[in-house]
Amino acid sequence: MHYVKKLYSSDIIGYLMIFGAGTLWGTIGLFVKLLSGVGASTSLIAFMRLFMGFCILIPIMLCTGGLKIFKIDKKGLIQCLLLGILSQAIFNYCYNVSIGSVGVATASILLYTAPVFVCIMSKIIFKELIGSYKIFALIINLAGCFLMVTGGDLSYFKISAVGISFGLAAAFLYSLVTIIGKIASGNIHPFTVVFYSFLFGWLMLGIISAPWQSIGAVSGLNFWIYAFGYGLIPTVGSYLLYMGGLGKNLEISKVPIIASVETVVATLIGVFVFKEKLNFINVLGIIILLSSIVIMNMKLKENEIEDGN
């Protein structure tokens, strides 16, 4: 019984770290709007996020672990390479193509199918059980996201074979953060995983879009302040919490549901900071999404009590 309580406590910390990561990710829209407001292009914004995150991590890692924390074996380097290229660089490319083809609302809805991919892969790779309550939580989570993004107005939803294909590809690549991150977190320090994934990510984005060509036009003080905040809060802070949480004894299929609090935070920032309108349907979407997170944790608690008896 003592072991079960200790294990449950560790799980709670892990899920709280995932929740915290999602909360910080919810500020992404704030920084994107601030950077866009000073003239930064979409490709430059994506590049600066990873590049600034990479730079910010260097002194943090030196202070916490010295040079030894940068050491990584070949297997770990390959995992970080996959994270950086697939889940950072190519993900951003696919998501931007989807937005350009079907709009922000539809692309966002397609991105929120990522938990479905995580659920499927967690069963195949980690042999997790997919019970009816998980399926129910996934369904209402997706429904909540849909209502928050569209406000119930179906005119926001656009159809395009290219846009939908790239949107689903972005969702799959986004889901790999959880899967590959879980595999890597078992053997590598979270700081190290995040550092090398950022490194490979900004290098790949640089090759794809050459964003520095436009940096001269926006290199004022405000741009660098916003870029630093973007690299620190929804990038370094969120990924360190996320990878740290994945290192705990968590059910991976539950992780993206809990991290979806990002959508709620983003919506509330839009209302309170940018004075965006929030109707009854948006509020209903928030309640539904938060309910999916509660369902996951209520079920977890019940399972732990049963195990303890």
**pLDDT grade for 7, boundaries at 50, 70 and 90:** very low
Mean pLDDT of all residues in 52-81: 95
Cβ atoms 207, 281 nearer than 8 A: no
Long-range contacts of 194-197 (CB under 8 A, 24+ apart): 194/53, 194/57, 194/236, 194/239, 194/240, 194/243, 195/54, 195/57, 195/58, 195/61, 195/70, 196/72, 196/76, 196/77, 196/80, 196/81, 196/83, 196/84, 197/80, 197/83, 197/84, 197/87, 197/88, 197/239
Cβ atoms 190, 243 nearer than 8 A: yes
Confidence check: pLDDT of 6 > 60: no
* Sole residue written with tokens 């004022």: 220
pLDDT for 230-239, tens place per residue? 999 999 999 9
pLDDT for 246-304, tens place per residue? 998 888 999 999 999 999 999 999 999 988 888 999 999 999 999 999 887 765 444 44
Look at the pTM and tell me if it is higher than 0.85. yes
User: How many domains does the structure of the chain reveal?
Assistant: 1
How many other C-beta atoms lie within 10 A of the C-beta of residue 126?
A: 13
Hey, what amino acid is at 291?
A: S
- How far apart CA 248 and CA 244 sit, in angstroms, is 7
State residue 2's pLDDT score: 43
**Range of weakest confidence among 88-97, 152-161, 201-210:** 152-161
State residue 4's pLDDT score: 43
**pLDDT grade for 10, boundaries at 50, 70 and 90:** low
- How far apart CA 249 and CA 158 sit, in angstroms, is 40
Question: Which residue segment(s) compose the domain that 104 sits in?
Answer: 2-308
State residue 149's pLDDT score: 85
